[in-house]
Amino acid sequence: MLKVGIIGTGVIFDLSIQGYLNNKDVEITCLSDKTIEKATEKIKKFKLGKDTRVYSDYKEMLDKEKLDIIEILLPHHLHAEVVVYAAKKGVKTISVQKPMALSLEEADMMIEACDNSGSTLSIYENFLFAPHILKAKELIDSDYIGDPSSIRIKIAMGSKGGWKVPNGANQWRKDPKMVGGAKKGSPVLLDNGWHAFSLAPWFFGEEIEKVFAQTGNYKGIDAPAYVMFKYYQKHEHLIPQYGHMEFVLMPEMQIPSKYYSTDEFIEIIASRGIMKINQGTSIGNTMSKSDIFAPIVIIRDGKVETLSEFEKDWKHSFIAATKHIIEVAKGNKEPILSGEQAKNILRFNLAAIRSSELGKEISLNEFI
């Protein structure tokens, strides 16, 4: 049985833990949180074993516990130091939340530490495991809509709805150094946007060559934001592939979500058809019941198809992502995002932030 330790017991804990519950292959043996009471409450809430140990210092936990899997559910400015320490302690599989790190230098530190220790580094990206997203990827890979030529990802951000973000979390997101560097940083692009920056190369199976971005400044938030990018053409395509992301604010809108007041809409144009992927974070709300917002809509060969038979709750992406980590730890699968793959996403993300600051196109080959 694999022994699991979790560092950080905030709101994401409640989703990430569900893939471990009632799983005969794993045992959650310990939790770490600066607030002992919070971790103790989570033990009761999820009916973990009475012998589950709690630590206020993650280093003490890693010093004393022999772990096969460590889940790092901390703010991203803490990812690098915790990954490096866990690797030195010989943890077999290290799972860390998005975004991977604050800088490419930190990413290199994490990758090197895991390479030296033989640890497997896996960057947790639950969006890649959402049932309707997986189906969309399957259809694209099977050439169902032909050769993809462009992707548009629209992220809608409301001001109301979803769970309450702790004040402490909002405070560090206001520090430019914590959200992408540069003069202003970018809480929208680096934090909220990581999912979109991950999906764009994953859907097409191509990395990004260059990017141009522009961000606004609505009451201190760098939105609306626009990101345009061009793919490398390592494989032969009918026409060059491009993409566009748009982050829009709805300052008086409540998005009916149990999680964040955010939702995502994706449109992929290919040589034989168009695919619309409706809803991400908020899938399962009242819009999901409408045919207009079916999880997947395909326009192909003069016909409109809708695919709706999916588990319509964002939590299922977390459950599947966590189960994937377990299979990685068992040696049955490779991480869906290795350290190097996640570093490429981070490069794409940080290059967009730099582009918005400089007002010019950035080549990712030159962004090191």
Residue at 39: amino acid letter = A
- CATH number, domain with residue 58: 3.40.50.720
Q: Are residues 143 and 268 in the same domain?
A: yes
Q: Are residues 18 and 97 in the same domain?
A: yes
For residue 64, is it within any domain?
Answer: yes
Alpha carbon distance 93, 99 (integer Å): 18
For residue 361, is it within any domain?
Answer: no
For residue 169, is it within any domain?
Answer: yes
Q: Are residues 109 and 17 in the same domain?
A: yes
Nearest to 201 by CA among 99, 95, 128: 128
Whole domain around residue 290: which residue ranges?
Answer: 127-310+349-355
Residue at 328: amino acid letter = V
Q: Are residues 120 and 153 in the same domain?
A: no
For residue 366, is it within any domain?
Answer: no
Kindly give the interhelix angle for 315-329 and 131-141, rounded to the nearest 10 degrees.
70
Q: Considering its fold, how many domains does the chain have in total?
A: 2
Helices (H), 65-103: 79-88
pTM of this structure: 0.92
Structure tokens at 364: 């990712």
Alpha carbon distance 21, 334 (integer Å): 22
* pLDDT above 90 as % of the chain: 70
For residue 362, is it within any domain?
Answer: no
pLDDT digits (tens, 9 = 90+) for 1-19: 999 999 999 989 999 999 9
Residue 168 pLDDT level (bands cut at 50, 70, 90): low
Q: Are residues 50 and 199 in the same domain?
A: no
Q: What is the mean pLDDT of residues 177-192?
A: 67
pLDDT digits (tens, 9 = 90+) for 259-274: 888 889 999 999 999 9
Q: Are residues 159 and 30 in the same domain?
A: no
Q: Are residues 35 and 166 in the same domain?
A: no
For residue 363, is it within any domain?
Answer: no
Q: Is the pLDDT of residue 180 over 70?
A: no
Alpha carbon distance 292, 325 (integer Å): 34
Helix (H) or strand (E) holding 14: helix 11-16
For residue 271, is it within any domain?
Answer: yes
Q: Are residues 150 and 198 in the same domain?
A: yes
Q: Are residues 204 and 166 in the same domain?
A: yes
Residues contacting 96, CB < 8 A, separation 6+: 72, 79, 82, 83, 110, 121, 122, 123, 124
Q: What angle do CA 335, 339, 344 make, to 5 degrees?
A: 110
Average pLDDT, the chain: 90
* pLDDT above 70 as % of the chain: 92
For residue 255, is it within any domain?
Answer: yes
Q: Are residues 235 and 139 in the same domain?
A: yes
Residue 74 pLDDT level (bands cut at 50, 70, 90): very high
- CATH number, domain with residue 170: 3.30.360.10
Q: Are residues 285 and 157 in the same domain?
A: yes
User: For position 164, what pLDDT does the model report?
Assistant: 67
Nearest to 120 by CA among 334, 318, 332, 323: 334
Q: Are residues 117 and 131 in the same domain?
A: no
